[in-house]
Amino acid sequence: MTVKIDFCYDILSPFAHVALARLGELPSDVELRPVPVLLGAILSHWGQKGPAEIEAKRLHTYRIATFLGERAGLSMTFPPRHPFNPLGALRILAGADADLGMTRRAFDFVFGDGRAPDNEAELAAFAEAVGAPLDLAGDDTAKARLRANTDQAIAAGVFGVPSFVVRENGPAEVFWGVDSFEMLKAWLGERGMFERAPYKGLEAVEVAVRRN
């Protein structure tokens, strides 16, 4: 039986680029659907900052992403500006209903070639590189699709990217980041994993202190 998984990503994320390189490790019965989402809207919803927005975490984030990329066989090249505004590029991908090939070309543009598609010239180059019409960046249907993707991801419990979202029976299971990739593979091999010790009951752990 085919297992359908949404791969929620924003082209800002170097970790999503790494995750794409590891998809071959998933079982053959997995059907993966790439879903572009707007990370900024997700972070705002949950009241978070992105790792590159935290000054003390910024360089560490770039180093660990580069390290993990090397481990996955990637040569990581960061764009000269990061984080950059990904909105136009994400609308192009959403409007084109980008498949895995197009999604990979998008990440190769950003973290392979080290280019930020956040101005007119670079956005045009991005559209050409991925093979999608540039005018999707301003298309109302593409805008609505990106908003819908983002809203649906938030409703499923996505709080960061990349996230692998599995919808079977009951609430969606969300596996966030390259760090959870091994757990995703383990869960796919043992669906009842979270219903046994030591995972069972973790949702009942009390929150004793909350910071405003």
**186-204 per-position pLDDT tens digit:** 999 999 999 999 999 999 9
pLDDT at position 1: 79
Q: What is the pLDDT of residues 50-73, one digit of tens each?
A: 999 999 999 999 999 999 999 999
pLDDT at position 123: 98
**Alpha carbon distance 5, 131 (integer Å):** 24
Q: What is the pLDDT of residues 153-178, one digit of tens each?
A: 999 999 999 999 998 877 899 999 99
> Is 163 annotated in the active site?
no
Burial class (CB in 10 A: 0-12, 13-18, 19+), 170: exposed
pLDDT, averaged across the chain? 96
Query: Interior CA angle at 107 toward 189 and 80, to 5°?
Result: 135
DSSP 91: H
**Alpha carbon distance 77, 86 (integer Å):** 17
pTM, full prediction: 0.96
Domains and CATH numbers, the chain: 3-204 (3.40.30.10)
**Alpha carbon distance 89, 117 (integer Å):** 7
Pick from 91, 148, 145, 146: nearest CA to 117: 91
